Structure 1
Amino acid sequence: MASLDEYQQKLEQGGFDECLCTLYPPHKLNEQRARYFALLDCFEARFGRGEVRLFSAPGRTELGGNHTDHNHGLCLAASVDLDLIAAVRPTKEPVIRIQSEGFEGMDVVDLTDLTPREEERERSCALIRGIAARMTALGFSVGGFDGYITSQVPQGAGLSSSAAFEILIVAILNGLYNKGNTDPVTAAKISQFAENTYFGKPCGLMDQMACSVGGCISLDFERPQDPLVERVPFQVSSFGHALCIVATGGSHADLTNEYAAVPAEMKAVAAFFGKEALREASLKDVMAQAKEIRRVCGDRAWLRAVHFFTENERVKKEVQALRQGDFEEYKQLVLASGRSSFQWLQNAYSCASPREQGIVVALAATALLLGNEGAYRVHGGGFAGTIQVFVPLAQLDAYQNGIEAVMGKGACHPIWIRPVGGVEVTQENADFH
C-alpha cells in the first residue's frame, strides 16, 4: 500500500504499464493511465489523502450457452477489458463505505449486522452485505474500508455489471483481509449467493465465473457446486474480426419475471420427468413426451427445453471449433445459437411490451449491414439489453457507423478478451498472465 501521490507518480512514469497492458488492449494504455490517475483524484476528494490500494474486476461476454447454466448446462464465456476499478483504504471501523462515480448516495454497510434487509433488495448495498455474510460463513475474514469505484461496464449492456461489482468487492476483501487466499471459483460462488439471497435475483453462476476466472473459459455445470472449468485459447482479433456488443437501449428494470420464467419453465419440464434440472433428462425424452409436456407445462416450456439441449450441443462444438482454430465453423454456430434463442428460447423481446423490440431491430439492422459476413446473436439474458456481433475488421468502421445510425450514438462497444478476472492492480510481484 502506498500514497496517492506515489501511485500517481508511478502511473506517469509507466510503472504500471505492464499490468495495464495485460488488463487492457495496448492501444488503450494512455486512456487507462489517465483513468486510474483520475480515480485516485476522486478518492482523495471523497475520503482524503493517505495510503490506498487499487483493484479491478472485468465485465463478461457470453460466447455460447444462452440460458443454460441455471439448468446445469454448458457455457462458453470470457472476461472483457471493460471493467470496474476501485481505490480503497482499509479502516479500523467495521463499516464498508463505497462511493460509485455517477451516483449521489454512498453505499454504507455495517459489518456487525450481516442479516438480509428487505429494504436493500435490488440495491448494491445488498450485494456488499451478502458477500460479507457469505465470506464470514465460509471462514474468511472481512473488515471495513473506504472505496471509490468507477466503471466502464455499461449498465444494462449484457456485460454483467452486477457480477463485475460483486467480484470486485470479493477481490477487495480478499486482498485487504485474506492475503489473496480466496480462489476464483469460490469468489464466484460467494457472489452468486449474494445476488440470489440478498439482492433477490435468481441468476445462475456463469456471469460470476467469467468475471472471476478470466480469459475465455468453457463451463460445465453438471455439478453446479463444483463446476468444471477449462481455459479455451481465443482472441477474436487473431481471426481478423472484432467482437462488438451493441446496446439496444432497453431497460432491465421490469424484466425480473421474464428472466425468472426461463429457468422456472425449464425446471418444470425437468420436474415432469422427476428431475431437478433439465441436464438430468434428454432431448430424446423431451421429444418422445412432447404432447404430454405441452399439455402439462405449456408450449413455451417445451420449446425452451428443446433450446436447452440443442444449445448444450452447440457449446461442445463451439469449444472444439475454437480449439481447432476453425473460426468460420464457430461463426456458423453463433448464428445457429441466435436463431434458437429467438425462436425457441424466445428471449428477444418481452411479450408484455411488443412495441419495444430493440434486440430484434439491432439483429435485423446487423443482418442488413453485414450480409453474409460476420455473425450475431442475442447476448446474455435477453428481452432487452444487447446483441453480440463478430465483425470483420475491414468492415468495423462501416458497421459501427451503420448500427449507431439505427440504435444511437455510442451503442456499439468493440471489446477485447481480458486474460484475468478480479485482481489487485497494486499487488507486488503480481503475475496476471
Structure 2
Amino acid sequence: MTTLDITLCHTAANGHHDVFGGLATHLVQAPGRVNLIGEHTDYNDGFVLPCAINHGTVVACSPRTDLLVRVIAMDYLAAPDEFRLDGTPKHVTVAEWPNYVRGVLWLLWSEGYPIRGANLVITGDVPQGAGLSSSASLELALLQAFKTMYGLTDLDPTRMAQLAQRAENEFVGCKCGIMDQLISARGQAGHAVQIDCRSLETRPVPMPADTAVLIAHSRVRRGLVDSAYNERREQCEQAAAHFGVKALRDVTPEQLARDGAGLPPLVLRRARHVVTENQRVLDASAALQAGDLRTLGQLMAQSHDSMRDDFEITVPAIDELVAILQEVIGDEGGARMTGGGFGGCVVALLPQARVAAAQQALVKRYRSPEGEPALVYLCKASDGAGLLG
C-alpha cells in the first residue's frame, strides 16, 4: 500500500465511523488514468494506450440488510445521498457526483446481481475536470465495493468496465467510450495497456524503468457532458455511415483519401484524426516496447497536431504547455494533450533526468488564462481496481 493509499484509506475509514457509527467492513480502490496516445478513438472501436495512475478513489463500505444505499463524499461539504436500489432512479440536480453512484448501482441491480444496500464513504485525489477520468475511477471503485461486499465472483474486470460505461452513457448522459473504465479495471503496475476497444483485448506494454510520466494540469476546467464531446462522436458516426462501416476503426488511410471527398470538410477532418490516430497507437506501443522514446515523442507530437488541427479539441493554454515541455524534452520523449479536450491536462513521457528542468520551465513560463501556474503530477503506472483492506 502506498503513502497515497494510506492517506485516502484513513480519510474514508474515519468518515465511515463518524457518519455511520461503525467500522467499514472493506476498503477498496480504483485508479484514475492518463492516456499516453489514442484520443477519441475508443468510441470509434479503435486502439488506445493508457496507463492507470497512482491517483484514484477509495471507498469505505459496509453492507446493509435492506435495499437502502447511504453514501457520502468526503471531498464535498454535502449531506449523505440516500436512495433505494428497487426504486425508480432519479437524477440529482444539486450535485453531479450522486448521479454516478445512482447510475452504477441502478444498473448493477437491474442486471440481476444479488446485492442489497450499503453504507458508503467515498474520497479520492483524481483532479476534477482534468481529463484524468475521476468519473471512471469512482464508477469502478463502487463496483469493486459491491463485488467485494456481496461476493460477486462472476463480475470480472472487463464486465465491471462495461457496466460502468453503460451507466455513464445511459444514466449520466455522456457517450463516453470504454477506455476510461477498462484501464481503471485492468491497469497493471509498471505498464501501459494497449486496448482494442472493439474486442476489449488488453495487452500490457512495459514502461522503461527510467521514464517519468509527468502530467501538467492547465487549470482550464473541462466537462464532457457539457462540452462538444457528444458532437464529435456524432460527427464520427456520420463519417462511418458515409463509408458504410460500423465504425471508423474499419476505414484505412487509403480509403479515407480515395472516398472521403463526399464528406463535409469538417467531418472529413474529424475522420482523418481518428483514422491516423489509430495507426499512431499501434506504432507507439511498438516504440514503447522497444524503449524508443525518440519515435514515441514524434508520434505524440503528431497526435497533438491532429487533435489541434483536425479534431479541434485543444485550447491555447494546452498548446502552450505542450510547447514548453517539448522544448525541454527535445528528442528524448514527447508531450501531448490527454483526455477529452477543451482544457484539462498534458501528458509527457521523458527521462527522469529531465524532470527537474521540465518542472522549472513550467513554473517560470506557464500561467493559465486566470494567471494560475500549472499543477504538476509525477505519476506511476499502477494496478487497476481492487481490495485495500
* TM-score, scaled to structure 2: 0.91
1:411 aligned to which of 375, 378, 383? 375
The CA distance in 1 between the partners of 2:92 and 2:55, in whole Å, is: 30
Shift of 1:63: 1.6
Contact 2:337 2:346 in 1 (8 A): yes
Partner of 2:175: 202
Contact 1:82 1:152 in 2 (8 A): yes
2:33 aligned to which of 60, 73, 78? 60
2:128 equivalent to 1:155? yes
Shift of 1:228: 1.9
Runs of 4+ in 1 over 6 A off after TM superposition: none
1:96 aligned to which of 65, 69, 74? 69
Tell me the amino acid that sits aligned with residue 151 of structure 1: G
User: Which string of whole-angstrom CA distances, capped at 9 and with x for unpartnered residues, describes residues 289-319 of structure 1?
Assistant: 33321xxxx3221111111111111111112
Contact 2:207 2:288 in 1 (8 A): no
1:359 aligned to which of 289, 308, 318? 318
Partner of 2:21: 48
Q: Which moved more, 1:86-95 or 1:304-313?
A: 86-95
2:369 equivalent to 1:396? no
Partner of 1:276: 246
Give percent identity, aligned residues only.
26
Tell me the amino acid that sits aligned with residue 221 of structure 2: S
Contact 1:122 1:200 in 2 (8 A): no
2:83 aligned to which of 105, 109, 131? 109
Q: Which moved more, 1:265-274 or 1:253-262?
A: 253-262
| Aligned pairs, number | 380
User: Which string of whole-angstrom CA distances, capped at 9 and with x for unpartnered residues, describes residues 230-285 of structure 1?
Assistant: 222x235x1x2311111111122486341112121111111112333212333222
Contact 1:94 1:112 in 2 (8 A): yes
Q: Which moved more, 1:304-313 or 1:283-292?
A: 283-292
Partner of 2:12: 39
Partner of 1:172: 145
Shift of 1:126: 2.3
| 1:8-407 aligned within 5 A | 20=1, 24=2, 29=3, 32-105=5-78, 106-113=80-87, 115-119=88-92, 123-215=96-188, 216-222=192-198, 226-232=199-205, 234-236=206-208, 238=209, 240-253=210-223, 256-293=226-263, 298-349=264-315, 357-405=316-364, 406-407=366-367
Tell me the amino acid that sits aligned with residue 217 of structure 1: V
The CA distance in 2 between the partners of 1:193 and 1:301, in whole Å, is: 26
2:386 aligned to which of 398, 403, 423? 423
The CA distance in 2 between the partners of 1:303 and 1:379, in whole Å, is: 19
The CA distance in 2 between the partners of 1:160 and 1:335, in whole Å, is: 22
* TM-score, scaled to structure 1: 0.82
CA RMSD of aligned residues (A): 2.2
Gaps in structure 1 of 5+ consecutive residues? 1-19, 350-356, 427-433
